[in-house]
């Protein structure tokens, strides 16, 4: 009897299964920023890992005294960018290369404010 599962099909199926398992345990496969920007609905409420350059860095302290940082994470070409929010003031600089891990939301409500297409980072790691 001949099998209908080709090695290429099996490899693709295995990759999809592995990605599903990683996401279900809270891990996120690294994706391209332009992929996220092109189809934000596909990543809504998902954990994501992205790499890129910091632009528009703003370190702020809320009225309640909580430090937070916002910036745009750009791809290498500078053609795509996504907004990033993180608590605290990590050691970042504009144009610095970083890896961002966090939850992406197409719409996030925080008090009276609404934020669109933003990653709330749980980890921001400067890269060489």
* Residue found under tokens 């860095």: 57
CA distance 37 to 46: 14
Q: Print the domain residue range for 18.
A: 1-27
Same domain (yes/no): 8, 63: no
Q: How many domains does the chain have?
A: 2
Same domain (yes/no): 61, 93: yes
Residue 18 C-beta-side C-alpha neighbours within 13 Å = 7
- The structure's pTM equals 0.78
Q: What is the domain-level CATH number for residue 67? A: 2.40.50.140
pLDDT tens, position by position, 17-66: 444 444 445 567 799 999 999 999 999 999 999 999 999 999 999 999 99
pLDDT tens, position by position, 95-120: 999 999 999 999 999 889 999 999 99
pLDDT for the residue numbered 29: 79
Same domain (yes/no): 14, 58: no
Range 12-46 burial, b when 16+ CB lie within 10 A, else e: eeeeeeeeeeeeeeeebeebebeebeeebeebeee
pLDDT for the residue numbered 123: 97
């Amino acid at each position: 009897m001949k099998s209908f599962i080709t090695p290429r099909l099996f490899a693709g199926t295995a990759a999809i299964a592995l990605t599903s398992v990683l996401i279900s345990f809270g891990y996120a496969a690294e994706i391209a920023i332009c992929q996220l920007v092109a189809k934000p609905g596909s990543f809504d409420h998902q954990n994501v890992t992205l790499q890129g350059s910091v632009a528009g860095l703003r370190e702020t302290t809320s009225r309640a005294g909580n430090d937070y940082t916002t910036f745009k994470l750009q791809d290498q070409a500078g053609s795509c960018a996504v907004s990033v929010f993180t608590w605290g003031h990590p050691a970042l600089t504009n144009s610095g290369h970083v890896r961002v891990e966090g939850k992406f939301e197409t719409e996030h409500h925080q008090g009276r404010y609404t934020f669109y297409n933003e990653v709330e980072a749980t980890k921001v790691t400067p890269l060489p």
